[in-house]
Structure formats: C-alpha cells, structure tokens
Amino acid sequence: MDRREFVRIGVAAGAMAGSNRILAAPAAAASKLGPGGILDAGVWEQQQMMEAGKLTSHSLTSQYLARIKTIDKSGPRLNAIIEINPEALKIALEMDRERNLKRVRGPLHGIPVLLKDNIATGDRMSTTAGSLALNGVRAARDAHVAAQLRAAGAVIIGKTNLSEWANMRSTHSVSGWSGRGGLTLNPYSLDRNCSGSSSGSGAAIAAGLATLAVGTETDGSIVSPASICGVVGIKPTLGLVSRSGIIPIAHSQDTAGPMARSVADAALMLAAMTGVDASDPVTREGAGKAGDYRAALEKGGLQGKRIGVARNFFGSNDELDAVIEKALLDLKAQGAILVDTEVPNISKYGDSETEVLLYEFKADLAAYLKEYAPHAPVANMADVIAFNQKHHQQELPYFGQEYLERAQAKGDLDTPAYRDALANNQRYARAEGIDQVMREHRLDALVAPTGGPAWLTDFINGDHFGGSFSSPAAVAGYPHITVPAGYVHGLPVGLSFVGAAYSEAMLIRMAYSYEQATLHRRAPQFPASVNIGKAWGQV
C-alpha cells in the first residue's frame, strides 16, 4: 500500500510512535449527532469514541448491521444493500485487537464501509454489477481500491445495489434497479428515484447504514445520487484512484470515489483510496499529485477564490435555481469572487461521448471478466446479451439492453471512428472546455447546480433527469465535488464544485468551507411521498 497520503495527515507518525490518537478534529466544530446517534456520526466522532474506549469497531459494525435489517430489509425497505459481508464482524474484531495493541492504521481504522457491487472483493461476497449473469461469482482478488481500504483498516461490511451494469444497459433504464438487487428507494421520498448508478451507496449513506461508501462514476454516477440523496460525493481526477478490479464501462472516464455525510469524511476516505497501482498505468500520471486533503479541512477556504458560475447549467427548474442562487450568496459571504460565465462547447461531445463508452465497454468488460472472473458463465458482451435473452423474465421485465447490443456491434479500439470520438471528447471537454473557461476568467473552480431533485420512479417511461452538471468534468476526467445545498419540497439538491485536473485539495477546501457555513444536510424521515404543499421542515 502507498502510505504517503497517510504520512501527510500525520497517521503513520502517530502509529510508529505507538499513539492511539490518530485524528484531530477538523478546524470547524464537528457536526452534531443526528437522530441515529453514533450511526449518523462521522469518522471523527466514531474514532474519538473508540479511542476513549466508549465504542468498539465490533459494536459499531453490529449496530450498522442491525440498522440494515431494520431500515433496509424491513421498515421502509430501502433495498440499498445487495449483500452483507459474512466476515464483517470478524474483521471488526481484528481491528479492535490491533487498536488494543496500539496499532492504529489511520483514520479509517475500524470504520464500517460499503462498496458498490461493481468493485471486486476477493472474499466470500459476489461482484456482479447487479447482473444475474454474475450472481454468485466471486472475484479472483480485490480491486485495488478495496485493497487500499482494507490496508487502511476499514471494515467492509457489504455491497450496495446499483443501476445494473452501471446504467449502461438501456436507453430507457430505471436508475437504481438491477436484476439481482431490485429497486433501491429514495430515503427522502420512497416513491422517488435515487438516480444512479451509485444508487445504493447514496441511499445507504443518507440513511445511516454505514459511515462511508464507495461509488463509481463514468458520467454522473457518483455526484447525481449524492446530490439527490443529500450527501457529499467526490468524483476524483481520472488516474488519482485505480480502476483495476472495477467492472467497467469505459477506461477513459471510469473512476471510483467516496460518498459520505460530510466533506471531512469524504476527504479522509479519498486519501485512503489514492495510490499508484502497477496494474493501472493511468495512476502513474497521478503519482505525487494527491493533495493534503486533511489540511484542506479548514475555515476560510473560499476567501479570495475566483469561482465561475456556469450559467448554462441553470434554468431546468426555477425552485432549484432559487436554492442555488442562495448558495451563491453564501459563497460571496465567505469571501468568494463570483464570475458569471458559461462552459463552452458542451454540445460538441454528447454523441462522441456515447460512442467512446460503447467501444470501451465492449473491450473493457471482456478484459475484466478474463482477469477477475475467469470462472464466470459469461466471458464477453455477447455472452451477457445471450444470458439476458435467455432469462428475459428476470433481467428484461421493465426495459431492454439496447446499449449492450450497440456496444457488441462496435469494432476494437483501433477503429478510427473510436479514436476520432475520443480525441473530440478530450478537445472540447478539456482544452476548449473547462481549461478554456478557467484560463480566460482566471478561475479557481466552477460551480453550478449538480442536478434537479429526485423524480418519481417510472418503469414505463424510464428516467427523466432534471438537468445535470456532470458531463464536463466526467468527459474531461477532472474532479467534481457535490455538497448538500438545500431542498426543493423536502428533496435534497446539491451544489457542484468542478476544477482542473488534480485540484481535489482546493475543491475540498472550498466545499468544506461552504458546507460548514451552511450545514444544510438533514437526516431523511422515509416518507412514502413528498407533500408538495409544504416546505421542508413543516409539520
């Protein structure tokens, strides 16, 4: 494990000295515990209780597993968890034993974490991307991200449901539904969608089913469910976090990232996830570029920062715009200098992005199955399509597999059409997109509404997103952080911070300052539906 990040936040030094105190409080006051008590708490609060001997990892893990039974498998029945790790309590006991021996690995030591079910784990859990074609198939070994988290002392307690094949199956899909896992419900309104594809990770963290979760994103799959579920999501720069062992869509855009109830928790988790992986060449580009994310958790992170307001991502919803306009005033109150602008050329890579995803999905899926699941009953895209056709009642009851079929029809990655599409994406999303607007206006970051509030789940018409700011950063491979910004009729919406490559530390500093100045997040109450006539907080 590359432990440089931990050294930078003072963890390794503390461990070598035999100290059990490995995490100081962030500069701003720690958040108050929610109605779920310690289960709604973050890393800092949980670590302080464990250091004081008032909590153990085994007890904390046991409480989360009990809450999963109460909230996820009964009660509101969120259906965010697709599988429980049968070794979770055993791992927690081992972390407690190490703590008793003064061998604390870092901020995540003994902290319960959920992984999205497209992240390989070389244990007794399956890795399926929600597909019945991989049901019961155990990965040959851990994904690099999973190995990093284990080395950091995290307790992987289970896997979360997702939009099947990370929402790259149908043009009329329903986010949060998979053949293996069924539908994940939104904790803020059970009849509404969680967005996707990291639906289960977003819903689980919102509902207090674990301290932290990992999502993955190709375009919007971390930031959209994070925004809609009222949590923090970080999509890192491509290359900061390894892609090895993650069931793919496309290597040119895929990345894992943290989802948490606070910016501080997401930052600590990101630090543990980063590192060079010999199996993933793109991580070499990120060597030495990870920032000091712990130091970024300070007051005053917005003072003097020039922030571009991406006005061409407003206008999809008047009530959403009103929330974000208030957020802009909050940014100014914290010393930010706002510049109205637009991200250029966003219409020039929509079609080419889809082309690239289709080409890479076909090639990358076959490569993953060969390396991580050689014993699986499917070996390539054609096999998956045939499996779905054979098991159409279970896999195709609501929508088809148009994207799988279109991907199968593509050639290899030497095809000129693929190379041209990829070059087009990088030109207009990077050099003549985010890079251009930030250079012209001398910006530190861009902000915009992450997306609209949650929509009613609709198995007839499929998803109907209310706008999204995800594509520029996703196609460019640049970092994107979403933070709770308020509510529209009780439904959470997020404010997005987007920056240049490897600017995570700066974005975390700004996002943290905004979060601490506003503290918008409220725990969900699991209503059956939204009362449109009443504002948030009214009885």
Active site residues: 116, 197, 221
Cβ atoms of 381 and 401 within 8 Å: the answer is: no
Burial of residue 354 (number of CB atoms within 10 Å: 0-12, 13-18, 19+): middle
Cα distances from 139 to residues 83, 203, 217, 332, 524, in angstroms, run 14, 25, 20, 48, 34
Cβ neighbours of 67 (radius 10 Å): 17
Q: Which residue has the tokens 């390539």?
A: 380
Q: Which helix H or strand E contains 272, and what residues bound it?
A: helix 263-273
Cβ atoms of 446 and 313 within 8 Å: the answer is: no
Cβ atoms of 370 and 383 within 8 Å: the answer is: no
CA end-to-end distance (rounded Å), the chain: 50
Longest dimension (CA), the chain: 62
Cβ atoms of 193 and 456 within 8 Å: the answer is: yes
C-alpha angle with apex 176: 174 to 182, nearest 5 degrees?
95
Return contacts of 19-23, CB within 8 angstroms, 24+ apart: 19/102, 19/104, 20/51, 20/99, 20/102, 20/104, 21/51, 22/47, 22/51, 22/104, 22/106, 22/107, 22/109, 23/47, 23/48, 23/107, 23/268
Kindly write down the DSSP assignment for every residue of 468-535, as one continuous string: BS-HHHHHHT--EEEEEEEEETTEEEEEEEE-STT-HHHHHHHHHHHHHHH---------SS--TTS-
Cβ atoms of 46 and 55 within 8 Å: the answer is: yes
